[in-house]
Structures are given as structure tokens and as C-alpha cells.
Amino acid sequence: MAVLNNVNVGTLEQVVKEAQTDKSKVKRQQKIEGEWLLKEGSPQFRAEVSFEGGKVVMEADQPKNLGGGGTRPGPLHYCFFGLVACYTATFAAVASQMGIELRKLTARLEGNLNFSRVFGLSKEPVMEEIRIALSVESDAPPEKLEEIEKLAYERCPAVFALTEKVKLNTSLEVKK
């Protein structure tokens, strides 16, 4: 079985096999460099993002209530897109590795946000709650799909980054 549900299962199996003896096969470094754009009316941030198949320029603009123009997705749009895309991809990959065929898989993310912290008005969490709902059409038994969903939650890198403490280092280089 090479590809199932638009997931290359053969490649996944090969990576798992190789990683059992060489953990470097499942490690990677991600790097993105961007620039805050100072010209009024332009998006606020731009970065060229490289990936296996090439590169793309991504732009972000804060919503108006956070000082931007609202002309592009804001940083949290990208964050939430990444989360829901990663969670859905993890579900599809786990299902495919288990040989479960999906007829349809859709995802919905909703979040309750509180920006009072951003304005220095409180120490309350910005993200009060995030909900992801998957909708699946498959001939697999519901119990099997629930098992896959549980494994997707446990294995999804974006869920891990949101629910576990991740070491974050920031720095500032001042130039004159």
C-alpha cells in the first residue's frame, strides 16, 4: 500500500523503520526569517518560507483592533491554520497507517480569545479555549475512528506545542 487517503504510507513506514536505529531521521530544524514592514498601508510582516518543494512569501497584518490594517491574515490565523492542518494531517496519517480508508475528512477550529493581556490590562490567558472538531466519513467502526482521534491528539506536533511546555528562547540585537 503506497498511498492511502492522500498519505504516502510507504514513506511513513520507511521513516519509522529508519528512525528505529537512527533518531536523526525524525529530526529537523525549521528556520524562518522575516521583516516588519514600516510603510503605512502595507502588510506589517513578510517572510519567505522555504519547504521541500520550494518557497513562498507569506505576509501577515494584525487586525485593526490590534493596530494593523486587517489586509492579510494575522499571526494567529497562521497559528490556528497550522494547528488545524497539523491535527487533521496527523489524523489522516494515523488512519492511513492503520489501513483505514476515509471517504471524507473535514475540520473546524474555533477559539475564544481574550486580548486584554496584549494591551497590558490583565495577566489573563490570551487563548481561553480552542476547539477542533473533525468530521469523518468512513466504513470503519466508530470505536476505531475514536482510537485514531485519540492517537492524533497524542502525536500531533502542533497539539504538543500548544499543550506542553516548550523551551522558547528570545533575543534582541540592537543596531545603530
Look up the pTM and report it. 0.93
The predicted model gives 114-127 an average pLDDT of 96
The Cα 104–Cα 174 span in angstroms is: 51
Q: What is the pLDDT of residues 12-58, one digit of tens each?
A: 999 999 999 999 999 999 999 999 999 999 999 999 999 999 999 99
The dihedral through the CA atoms of 11, 16, 22, 23 has a sign that is: positive
The predicted model gives 100-120 an average pLDDT of 97
Which CATH superfamily groups domain 74-176? K homology (KH) domain (3.30.300.20)
Torsion of CA 59, 64, 66, 67, to 10 degrees: 80
Please choose, from the candidates 60, 90, 96, the residue with its C-alpha nearest in 3D space to the C-alpha of residue 75: 60
The one-letter amino acid at 121: L
Domain with CATH 3.30.300.20 in the chain: 74-176
Q: What is the mean pLDDT of the chain?
A: 96
Above 90 in pLDDT, residue 75?
yes
Q: What is the pLDDT of residues 131-165, one digit of tens each?
A: 999 999 999 999 999 999 999 999 999 999 999 99
Above 80 in pLDDT, residue 1?
no
- For 32-49, the DSSP string reads -EEEE--STTS-SEEEEE
